[in-house]
Structure formats: structure tokens, C-alpha cells
Amino acid sequence: MKTTRINKKIADAGITSRRKADKLIEEGRVVVNGKKVTEPGLQVTDKDQVTVDGVLLTKEEPVHILYYKPAGEISAAEDDKKRDTVIDAFHDIDARLYPVGRLDYDTSGLLLVTNDGEFTQHMTHPKFEMKKTYRVKTDGILLRHQQDEMRRGIKLDDGLTAPCDLKVIRDKGGKDMILEITIHEGRNRQVRRMFEHFGLNVTKLTRIRFDFLTLDGLKEGEYRFLKPHEVKKLIASSNK
Ligand code: URA
């Protein structure tokens, strides 16, 4: 039978994060089959009865949400500086939700939100190469040969970028440009840094696609639940 580390079991039940679950264990508040847990690495199965403060754990139903994040929200469940987080939009949903990966504070667009750890792993781990498309407005022109360089891969501080798709959407030959870029990596501020490499600033950044999902039908700040077949299709894409 499949075993799970005790702190994950507590997190999956929606009680708290894995790190805070370790704290609960330390404080002697977690009991498995009638015995207080002393070992943080304890493995449990679905048959084990786990209680926290005397309350029996049950697994939280998985929730998968497609959110149109506005600029000006933090992609985190909590913020030390008490700024608005993407999770504030879901305070009436009774589940321990968190964003799948992150978009910068100033980036808008398609953000998945879930309480499903395995789904998150498939959507974010680099080995699954999930494709994300961004619409980018720049404060200058990316020349043809620079576009080709970007498509092939460029050297950033944290290494070479993988080949990407790049399309020019608007180039009026003036002082700005709109492009669409599709990448399957998810390094910190990657798109902004790819343009900075050529001396350009990104003045607007919106994620418009995540694999086959788009923002169709949603306005900024709105969300919808993913349908079960969409969740399955995303997992299937990640396994391709
Ligand atoms: N790339 C960035 O630079 N920022 C984001 O928010 C997402 C991708």
C-alpha cells in the first residue's frame, strides 16, 4: 500500500503547510492510531487513523481553478508585507488553496490555483515541459536577428534558455512592440530577463495560454473551475 510522509498527509487534508505540520508534530499534537507521533519522517498509509488536536483527518476534495490574475497581486497564499495575494479572491472556498507556480506582481493573466499537490508537481516541474504563452509589450524594438537568437536560446545568468516560439504581433516600426512568446521553462522572471538581455524593458506582460487553456470568457479578477476532463488533459499533456 502507498505510504505518505505524515506532514504531507496533514497538508493534503487542508490543515496547514507541510512545514507547519512538522511544527504540530514537534508540539505533540499529532496522533497516529492512538500513539503520539515523535518522528517527523513517519510514513503512514490510507488505513492509518491520524488525528490533529483530537480531530480525525480526511482528505480534502481536490479543487482546480483557472484564475485571470490582475497585475498588482502576489502569487502566494500569504504575504509578509500584507499585500493582496491571488488567494484573496477565493476566501469563500473552503480549501487550502495555493497558486500553481507564480506570476510576478506586475504580470497579469492565466494562473492555476489548486489544493492538489500532485497536479501542481505535473504543472510546474521542469521535466514535464508544460507550454506557457505570454503576450509581451516592450519599450523598444527587438530586431529580426535578435528574434532569431531568442528563438534559438540565449545565455542568461542562470544558463541557456531552451528554444522557444516567438511571434511578432505588432511592430509599427516605432518605439514599442507587441510579441507572443511560448516557453516551457519557468525560471524566475524569465520572459522579462530574456528581453532585458537585448536591452529592452517589458512594459506589460500577460500570460494568455497555459497548454491548451486560455483566458476566454474571463475578465481580470474572475475565475472558473476546471472541468474534470480539462484536468485529465493537462496531466496527459505533462506526460507526453
Ligand atoms: N516571466 C516573467 O518574466 N514574469 C512572469 O510573471 C512570468 C514569466
DSSP states along 76-121: SS--TT---BGGGGGTTS-S--EESS---TT-EEEEEEES-HHHHH
* Angstrom distance (rounded) from CA 101 to CA 90: 17
Give the distance (Å) from ligand 1 centre to CA of residue 63. Answer: 24
pTM score of the predicted model: 0.84
Q: Which residues contact 20 (CB under 8 A, 6 or more apart)?
A: none
- Mark out the alpha helices in 13-168 (DSSP H runs): 18-26, 117-124, 144-152
Q: What pLDDT does 64 receive?
A: 97
Candidate from 69, 102, 104 with most ligand 1 atoms within 8 A of CB, to mutate: 104
Q: What pLDDT does 84 receive?
A: 87
Q: Is the CB of 208 under 6 A from ligand 1?
A: no
Q: What is the mean pLDDT of residues 93-121?
A: 94
- Residue nearest to ligand 1 atom 3, measured at CA: 189
Give the distance (Å) from ligand 1 centre to CA of residue 45. Answer: 39
Q: pLDDT (tens digit, 9 = 90+) per residue, 117-153? A: 899 999 999 999 999 999 999 999 999 999 999 999 9
- Residue nearest to ligand 1 atom 7, measured at CA: 103
Q: pLDDT (tens digit, 9 = 90+) per residue, 1-59? A: 789 999 999 988 888 889 999 999 999 999 999 999 989 899 999 889 999 999 998 87
